[in-house]
C-alpha cells in the first residue's frame, strides 16, 4: 500500500469529545470517525487492526474446535420472550417493529438465537459436543456511550456457544475456551488477567472475565498477592467481621437538622461512618420500590443489586419522583417502621449493633438501632462493593485493587436457555435431555482500544506487531528524488514479496509530517530513506516500541528487515502454522 492513495486523515489535535487515550489516538490517527454517539465508522487503517484481531480469534477458535456461523443482528422478540429476557434486559435493548407489527431487537447477545438454531438442527448425542461461534455486530443502547470504542453502542463481538451432554463435558468446553482466550490475548500482545466475574443477565453460576490492565479501565479488579484470588468488583466478596460484642442499647430519636449525607451525620454525631446504616431507595420494574441497606462507608454494587432485585431495570429514586411518595422523607429514610418498600440488607449489617439510621421524619435520625430489636430483615444479600484493604475471602490477606478493561468473558450456563426453550437431544439411552451450555464472548473492537490504552506514548500508538495496521512503514523523505525513490521502491517491493505487511510513504510532504504520522499511527518498524541513505548506502531502521535505531546496508536491508519482523512476530507466541486450518 502506498500512503499517497490511503484514506488516513490524521489530525494534529484531539477532538474535544475524546476523553481517553485510545479514543484520542484512534481519531487522530485517522482510524475511526464518529457517526453518532457510540457509533463509529472504521477507516482503512482501523479496519486493518480489526481484521488482524479477527484473524487471531478465528485461528484460535479453530484450534479449540469451534465452527464459524453468521446469524442475523435483527432478532425476533418471540425468542427473547420464551426466556423472559425481553422484559429483563431493560432499555439497553434497541427494540423495533416491522411493517406488520412484529417486534424485533438489534441483538445485544445471541443465546436465544443460537439455542433455537441448535434445537432445530441437532437431535442426537452423536452430534455433541458442538461449539459454534460468529463475529458479528452487536448493539446495546448505553445510557452514556463514551470512551470511543471502549463503551460504544454498536460494537464488533465474537460470541461462541458450546452445547454438551453433561456438566463435566461443558466444563471441558469452558476450559478449552479459557485456554483459547489466553492464547488470543497473548498473541494480541496484551497484559491481561482472568478474574471471577458476575453472570448478569447472561446467566449461569460460573463466569470469568479477561481484563486488560490499564489505569483508564472502567472495571475494578480485586486481587490477593498472598494467594491466587482475583475477581471483578461486581462479584468480589470479603468475609464478615466478627459480630459486635457491644451491649444492645435502647434506640433513641435525635435531631439532625439539615444533616442528610453520611458524612454530615457522622460529623454532626461525632461517630465513624461505619456506625451508620444508610437506606437507599431504588425504583425497579414497573413501579416497585426497594430500600437497600448498606453500611455508611460502603457503596451499593449495581451488579449484585441486579441479582438481588431480579432485574437490571432499576434506578435510584431521584428528583420529582420523591414527590410521589410523601411517606419517604428524602435524606432521612430509615428501616424502622417503614412498610411501603421491599427491604434488602447487606449481610455485613447482620454483625453490627447500635448503629444509626434515618428516622423517617425530617431532620432526625435514630441512634442505637439493632436488627431484630427495632426492625426485621427478611432479605439478606451481598450487595456492597468490596474495596482495597478488605480481607481476601480465600486466605484472609489484604486485597489490592487495579483498573482493567474487560475484553472477554466466558460463562457456564447450564440449562438456563435449553430448558426454557425446550432444546433437547436424544441421549444414548433414548431419553430427551436439555443441552448443557456455555457462552463465550470477546469484544473485538474493544480489544483494539484496550491495546492502545496499554501501548502508547506522547507521540502516538505503539501497536503490538500482530495487530498493527501494517508491520513496516518505509518513510521516504524526498520521494520526488529519483535516487531515494529507487531505493524505497526496491525495499518496498522486496518486503512485499517476503510477505511483510509494508506501507510506502510516498507523499509529497515534509519529513516532520511523515515522521509524526508514522509515530502517531504506530507502525512497529519504521525504515527511513533520505539523502543520507544515498550517500552512505545505509538505511535507518527504527523500532517504534523501544526507539532503538539500527542501520542496514541497502543491499541487505530487505533480508535484515524481514528477519527482524519475523523475530518480533515470534515474541507474541503465535498459535502455530496449522492453527488456521484446525477444526
Q: Kindly report, residue by residue over 519-577, the tens digit of the pLDDT.
A: 999 999 999 999 999 999 999 999 999 999 999 999 999 999 999 999 999 998 654 43
The answer to whether 293 and 335 have CB atoms below 8 angstroms apart is yes
- Whole-angstrom distance, CA of residue 153 vs CA of residue 391: 36
Residues linked to residue 578 through DSSP beta bridges, in sequence order: none
User: Which H or E element spans position 454?
Assistant: helix 444-454
Per-residue model confidence as pLDDT tens digits over 185-221:
999 999 999 999 988 778 888 999 999 999 989 899 9
Per-residue model confidence as pLDDT tens digits over 462-496:
999 999 999 999 999 999 999 999 999 999 999 99
* Phi-psi label, residue 125: left if phi above 0, alpha if psi -120 to 50, beta otherwise: alpha
Q: How many CB atoms lie under 10 A from the CB of residue 288?
A: 13
162, three cell numbers: 458450546
436, three cell numbers: 448443557
- Whole-angstrom distance, CA of residue 549 vs CA of residue 199: 48
Strands 67-68 vs 230-232: parallel, antiparallel or unpaired: unpaired
The CA-CA-CA angle for residues 300, 291, 392, to 5°, reads 30
Mean of the per-residue pLDDT values of the chain? 94
The answer to whether 93 and 105 have CB atoms below 8 angstroms apart is yes
Residue identified by cell 429483563 is 88
The answer to whether 45 and 5 have CB atoms below 8 angstroms apart is no
240, three cell numbers: 464478615
Average pLDDT over residues 237-257: 94
Q: Quickly state the pLDDT bin for 459 (edges 50, 70, 90).
A: very high
Instruction: Write the CA distances from 329 to 293, 321, 371, integer angstroms.
Output: 16, 12, 21
The answer to whether 187 and 572 have CB atoms below 8 angstroms apart is yes
Q: What is the pLDDT of residue 491?
A: 97
Q: Specify the pTM.
A: 0.86
Residue identified by cell 432445530 is 120
Kindly tell me if the per-residue pLDDT of 581 is higher than 60. Answer: no
418, three cell numbers: 435449553
- Rounded to a whole number of angstroms, the CA Rg of the chain reads 29
Secondary structure class of 349 (helix, strand, coil): helix
Which of 113, 89, 106 is closest to 439 using CA atoms? 113
Average pLDDT over residues 359-372: 97
Q: Quickly state the pLDDT bin for 313 (edges 50, 70, 90).
A: confident
Average pLDDT over residues 124-142: 96
Kindly tell me if the per-residue pLDDT of 579 is higher than 60. Answer: no
320, three cell numbers: 420529582
Per-residue model confidence as pLDDT tens digits over 32-75:
999 999 999 999 999 999 999 999 999 999 999 999 999 999 99
Instruction: Tell the burial category of 482 from Cβ atoms under 10 Å away from its Cβ (0-12, 13-18, 19+).
Output: exposed
Residue identified by cell 434506640 is 251
The answer to whether 565 and 543 have CB atoms below 8 angstroms apart is no
Instruction: Tell the burial category of 357 from Cβ atoms under 10 Å away from its Cβ (0-12, 13-18, 19+).
Output: buried
Q: What is the pLDDT of residue 573?
A: 67
Secondary structure class of 12 (helix, strand, coil): coil
Q: What is the pLDDT of residue 183?
A: 96
Per-residue model confidence as pLDDT tens digits over 272-288:
999 999 999 999 988 89
- Whole-angstrom distance, CA of residue 170 vs CA of residue 187: 26
- Whole-angstrom distance, CA of residue 3 vs CA of residue 578: 33
Kindly tell me if the per-residue pLDDT of 580 is higher than 80. Answer: no
Kindly tell me if the per-residue pLDDT of 582 is higher than 60. Answer: no
**Dihedral in degrees, nearest 10, Cα atoms 54, 58, 59, 61:** 130
The answer to whether 210 and 409 have CB atoms below 8 angstroms apart is yes
Range list of H helices, 146-202? 167-187
Domains along the sequence of the chain with CATH: 14-237+400-454 (3.30.930.10), 252-381 (3.90.960.10), 470-570 (3.40.50.800)
The answer to whether 111 and 202 have CB atoms below 8 angstroms apart is yes
Secondary structure class of 299 (helix, strand, coil): coil
Specify the higher pLDDT residue, 583 or 550.
Answer: 550
Q: What is the pLDDT of residue 310?
A: 86
DSSP labels, 70-113? ---SEEEHHHHHHHTHHHHSGGGSEEEE-TT--EEEE-S--HHH
Amino acid at each position: 500500500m502506498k500512503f499517497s492513495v490511503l484514506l488516513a486523515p490524521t489530525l494534529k489535535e484531539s477532538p474535544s469529545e475524546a476523553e481517553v487515550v485510545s479514543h484520542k489516538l484512534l481519531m487522530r490517527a485517522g482510524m475511526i470517525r464518529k457517526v453518532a454517539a457510540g457509533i463509529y465508522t472504521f477507516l482503512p487503517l482501523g479496519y486493518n487492526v480489526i481484521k488482524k484481531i479477527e484473524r487471531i480469534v478465528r485461528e484460535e477458535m479453530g484450534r479449540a474446535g469451534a465452527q464459524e456461523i453468521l446469524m442475523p443482528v435483527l432478532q425476533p422478540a418471540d425468542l427473547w420472550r420464551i426466556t423472559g429476557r425481553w422484559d429483563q434486559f431493560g432499555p439497553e435493548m434497541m427494540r423495533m417493529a416491522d411493517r406488520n407489527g412484529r417486534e424485533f431487537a438489534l441483538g445485544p447477545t445471541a443465546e436465544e438465537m443460537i439455542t433455537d438454531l441448535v434445537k432445530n438442527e441437532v437431535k442426537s448425542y452423536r452430534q455433541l459436543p458442538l461449539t459454534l461461534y460468529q463475529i458479528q455486530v452487536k448493539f446495546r443502547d448505553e445510557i452514556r456511550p463514551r470512551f470511543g470504542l471502549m463503551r460504544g453502542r454498536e460494537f464488533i463481538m465474537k460470541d461462541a456457544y458450546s452445547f454438551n451432554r453433561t456438566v463435566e463435558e461443558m466444563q471441558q468446553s469452558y476450559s478449552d475456551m479459557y485456554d483459547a482466550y489466553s492464547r488470543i490475548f497473548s498473541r494480541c500482545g496484551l497484559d491481561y488477567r482472568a478474574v471471577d466475574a458476575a453472570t448478569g443477565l447472561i446467566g449461569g453460576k460460573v463466569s470469568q472475565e479477561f481484563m486488560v490492565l490499564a489505569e483508564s479501565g472502567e472495571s475494578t479488579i480485586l486481587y490477593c498477592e498472598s494467594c491466587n484470588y482475583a475477581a471483578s468488583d461486581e462479584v468480589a466478596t470479603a468475609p464478615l467481621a466478627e459480630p459486635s460484642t457491644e451491649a444492645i442499647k435502647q434506640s433513641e430519636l435525635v435531631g439532625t437538622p439539615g444533616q442528610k449525607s453520611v458524612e454530615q451525620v457522622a460529623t454532626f454525631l461525632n461517630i465513624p461512618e461505619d456506625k451508620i446504616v444508610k437506606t437507599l431507595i431504588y425504583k425497579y420494574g414497573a413501579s416497585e420500590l426497594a430500600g437497600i441497606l448498606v453500611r455508611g462507608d460502603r457503596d451499593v454494587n449495581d451488579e449484585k443489586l441486579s441479582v438481588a432485585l431480579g432485574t437490571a431495570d432499576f434506578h435510584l429514586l431521584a428528583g420529582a419522583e420523591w414527590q410521589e411518595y410523601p411517606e419517604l422523607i428524602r435524606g432521612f429514610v430509615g428501616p424502622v417502621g417503614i412498610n411501603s418498600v421491599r427491604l434488602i440488607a447487606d449481610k455485613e449489617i447482620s454483625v453490627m449493633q447500635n448503629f444509626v439510621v434515618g428516622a423517617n421524619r425530617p431532620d432526625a435520625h435514630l441512634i442505637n438501632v439493632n436488627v431484630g430489636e427495632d426492625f426485621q430483615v427478611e432479605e439478606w444479600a451481598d450487595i456492597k462493593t468490596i474495596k482495597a484493604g478488605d480481607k481476601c475471602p480465600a486466605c484472609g490477606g489484604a486485597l489490592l485493587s487495579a483498573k482493567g478493561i474487560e475484553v472477554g468473558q466466558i460463562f457456564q450456563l447450564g440449562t438456563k436457555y435449553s430448558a426454557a426453550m425446550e432444546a433437547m437431544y436424544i441421549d444414548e439411552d433414548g431419553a430427551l435431555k436439555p443441552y448443557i451450555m456455555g457462552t463465550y464472548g470477546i469484544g473485538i473492537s474493544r480489544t483494539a482500544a484496550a491495546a492502545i490504552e496499554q501501548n502508547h506514548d506522547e507521540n502516538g500508538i505503539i501497536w503490538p506487531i500482530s495487530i498493527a495496521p501494517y508491520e513496516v512503514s518505509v518513510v521516504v523523505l524526498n520521494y520526488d528524488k529519483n535516487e531515494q525513490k529507487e531505493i524505497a521502491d526496491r525495499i518496498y517491493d522486496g518486503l512485499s514479496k517476503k510477505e511483510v505487511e509494508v506501507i510506502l510513504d510516498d507523499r509529497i510532504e515534509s519529513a516532520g509530517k511523515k515522521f509524526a504520522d508514522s509515530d502517531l499511527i504506530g507502525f512497529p518498524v519504521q525504515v527511513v530513506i533520505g539523502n543520507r541513505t544515498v550517500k552512505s548506502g545505509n538505511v535507518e531502521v527504527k523500532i517504534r516500541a523501544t526507539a532503538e535505531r539500527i542501520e542496514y546496508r541497502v543491499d541487505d536491508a530487505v533480508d535484515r528487515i524481514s528477519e527482524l519482523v519475523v523475530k518480533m512476530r515470534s515474541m507474541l507466541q503465535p498459535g502455530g502454522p496449522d492453527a488456521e486450518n484446525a477444526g
